[in-house]
Structure 1
């Protein structure tokens, strides 16, 4: 790190990726544990690389300095190696500023999170400028990012399989040429991930994916899994909640949007591409938000919980022919179930959407990591009307 970069950091406030410490003592076990907690929390937090700057007061930013001889890089690396699993890639530097020295610990962006404290098994995360325990949904989301779990296969222990629709399941199994006998059907359902058999209790429960695809009204049990369409009629805002299994929701969205835009020449296939992407890529661990489609004269916005999957960015999203997908199990099933082939286009249809609006407006993609939100913003109805008139 050069001096200019350090000066820029000193102008910022403490946040999830930046921490200031006046001193750092590593003489006792509790002091070593506190350092490990802070580094683990920064590594687990969303964003790029993070920094801990030692020798600076966190409130006033007064540079008090440190003795470089007291903070040995090898010792800090050993402390983290002993206490953190998996290991965190970090760098320790000593930089002279204002005739004194500060220590900068750089924590590089991790593709192996979540990291945990080996001695206690605890996971930590930064909430603003505070180190805190990671919540269950935050831990689960990080495990999914690295492929250690798939949230579609998580069993819903408060439900039994009576909530599933046998006809929907049979339709899927017929499409993949599976017609199990009565005594074997539960084994087949389990093997394809629709249900989960709890060995300890002997009970059978539907999985999250099983509910989303094979329950007539999953929103009765998973209310956050609907699609809200917001639009205007004579200056009055209308909110329509679309419910049903995923295929049924898409069909109902198609019918509803066709109806409200029937007198306009807006290219609604762009909206449906965005909705299909949202359904496929949304973070089903987020229990607080639905997918929202906002239609207005100024813009059409499709937002869904869940930022881009690990290893993806705006460039790879537009350029890759086989982009990473958060919910791979769902994708495999939806490709088979969807007779309209909407999911064969998801991901690499982004460039086609942009071409539709050439000369009209830009298609914006917003990956909002801190809010765990992804948005696709299309030109509004008015801009397309103006183009048609011209």
Structure 2
């Protein structure tokens, strides 16, 4: 018999309205068990997730309602088919939820990612993609999945720690406020298989220890550095002040790193078309890229993540290569969670940093475009992933020169390079010549060499 939990009306409403995404799905109780096994296969072969059965959707309006099983035995067909498909069931946790204001019992299935490939009742293989599933059929697709799942994730390693450092932490108390159903810290940690005796999994330490750096040094902090230069070949002489170290549980590390980065950025100015202006990066871009760096880094590598803030760009570097089959080319269209437990559980915190699961980087790119800035650049290095966020306008160099001259009497090569991001004097000179050939600008008479400048042409 699986446990039955009575939940509050507020918690029930939250389940009814939960967003279907990479980690969550809702199904009506009438779903065929064989069809449900495909969804289970998809979750288990991706990052795991939660399925709520007993939530119906009405027609094309997709209005949801709580229509649970009349009794827990009514769901026996589902559990039997799932266990027949997956005899060990080591990736499944079942529980029933009820509320006196709503009819019946909702079956909540927690699906964990496991090392082996999980198949459906028809012996087919699925993976979760955004809010849906995709069937794998070719040998190449299956081989790629085997490669992805064959890598042992460091988040499942055990760390020697006094359990009280976890079960009495501020972090887990904050976390459990948002969990349905409510549970005592130690009960929840045991149910999630995060603790045993005097040990805790790395994922548990990262999420629920207030000072994880004590147990995982050089693995769970972020270094923030400010360099007063635009150069790419940098040295310590450009470092402004002492690097800032952000420590704590992952949830707080993400939010503190974003806030500290924004605070530093607010003090930077650059030459714009209307004179000196404050640097502006979209908060969404910083948040999503920093979140991605924290959640998907390789925690087996003893190195902190780094945020480097320059006069004309931000660099976010996280240890470890891109996980599984993810590449620079497909990173906006696919997911592969190196740390599925961390990704799944941090999504249950109040105001989770990975609110739009699977859409984070897309949000980062869209926010840059909305401000008419060039998109982030993702680079895979030998042992790390570097995301470069340039502060370069999408407008053409010609447009920026004209815009500047609408507000100013003249423009020099150096000023033009500052506002356009062009590094080469000759390249900038060619921009001027193209505008000259179009009778838009002209050189200022008598200005030669370093003093030469251009002005709008009076037609």
Give the TM interval when normalised to the shorter protein: 0.5 to 0.7
How many aligned residue pairs are there? 237
Structure 2: distance between partners of 1:252 and 1:280: 15
Residue 307 of structure 1 is aligned with which of 321, 341, 346? 321
The alignment status of 1:367 with 2:380, answered yes or no, reads yes
Give the C-alpha shift of residue 242 in structure 1: 0.5
TM-score (norm 1): 0.53
Report 1:206-221 matches (<5 A). 206-221=200-215
Flag the structure with larger Rg. 2
Residue 223 of structure 1 is aligned with which of 217, 228, 240? 217
SS at match of 2:159: coil
Structure 1: distance between partners of 2:259 and 2:355: 20
Q: Is the 8 A contact 2:228 2:311 kept in 1?
A: no
Q: Structure 1 residues 303-312 or 249-258, which shifts more?
A: 249-258
The alignment status of 1:190 with 2:190, answered yes or no, reads yes
Give the C-alpha shift of residue 266 in structure 1: 2.6
Q: Which runs of 5+ in 2 are unaligned?
A: 1-139, 230-237, 268-277, 405-459
Tell me how large the CA RMSD over aligned residues is: 3.4
Report 1:1-390 matches (<5 A). 111=143, 145-147=148-150, 149-157=152-160, 159-166=161-168, 167-180=170-183, 186-195=186-195, 197=196, 203-224=197-218, 225-232=220-227, 236-238=239-241, 239-263=243-267, 264=278, 265-287=280-302, 289-320=303-334, 323-339=335-351, 341-345=352-356, 347-358=358-369, 359-368=372-381, 371-380=382-391
Structure 1: distance between partners of 2:245 and 2:348: 26
TM-score (norm 2): 0.46
Residue 23 of structure 2 is matched in structure 1 by: none
Structure 2: distance between partners of 1:176 and 1:267: 30
Q: Is the 8 A contact 2:194 2:200 kept in 1?
A: yes
Judged with a 3 Å threshold, the aligned counterparts in structure 2 of structure 1 residues 236 and 308 are, in CA distance, closer, same or farther, namely: closer
Q: Structure 1 residues 311-320 or 205-214, which shifts more?
A: 311-320
How big is each residue's C-alpha offset from its partner over 1:113-161, in whole Å with a ceiling of 9 and x where there is no partner? 99xxxxxxxxxxxxxxxxxxxxxxxxxxx8xx4256442232113x221
Residue 98 of structure 1 is matched in structure 2 by: none
SS at match of 1:241: strand
Q: Which runs of 5+ in 1 are unaligned?
A: 1-107, 115-141, 198-202
SS at match of 2:248: coil
Structure 2: distance between partners of 1:308 and 1:218: 24
Structure 1: distance between partners of 2:359 and 2:188: 33
Structure 2: distance between partners of 1:362 and 1:168: 34
Give the C-alpha shift of residue 191 in structure 1: 2.1
Structure 2: distance between partners of 1:205 and 1:247: 21
